[in-house]
Amino acid sequence: MTEQRQSLYFNLIDELLKCPNGQEPEILESKPELIDSGLVETMLQVATMFAHEGNQDGAQFLFFVARELAKELGLYPEVPSTEVANTEVANKE
């Protein structure tokens, strides 16, 4: 990842953090060229930094958006809820 691309990711993350609640999809749709695994990775890094600095709200927000983007990009496996329930039951036994 180039420094220029990472800077674009940081700018987009900053826009998302500052935008009014509910406008996140519009902001993301306005920058489709930046929606990729690099953005997800950068969001996770920033969220981790926020968590270490005590900014739990910012960290949770970025983890949530990163997870949703990862799902859309096919980077986050969807596990059917019945499979999750069966796994939880098996782990308790």
Tokens encoding 86: 């069966």
Identify the CA nearest to 33 among candidates 55, 53, 8, 15: 8
- Express each pLDDT in 49-64 by its tens digit: 999 999 999 999 999 9
- For residue 38, give its domain range: 3-92
Alpha-carbon distance 31 to 8, whole Å?
10
- Express each pLDDT in 5-33 by its tens digit: 999 999 999 999 999 999 999 999 999 99
- What SS3 string covers 4-73? HHHHHHHHHHHHHHHCCCCCHHHHHHCCHHHCCHHHHHHHHHHHHHHHHCCCHHHHHHHHHHHHHHHHHC
Q: Which residue has the higher pLDDT, 92 or 70?
A: 70
% pLDDT > 70, the chain = 82
* Band of pLDDT at residue 76, cut at 50, 70 and 90: confident
The predicted pLDDT at position 75 comes to 86
Tokens encoding 60: 């949770």
* Band of pLDDT at residue 81, cut at 50, 70 and 90: low
Q: How many domains does the chain have?
A: 1
The predicted pLDDT at position 73 comes to 92
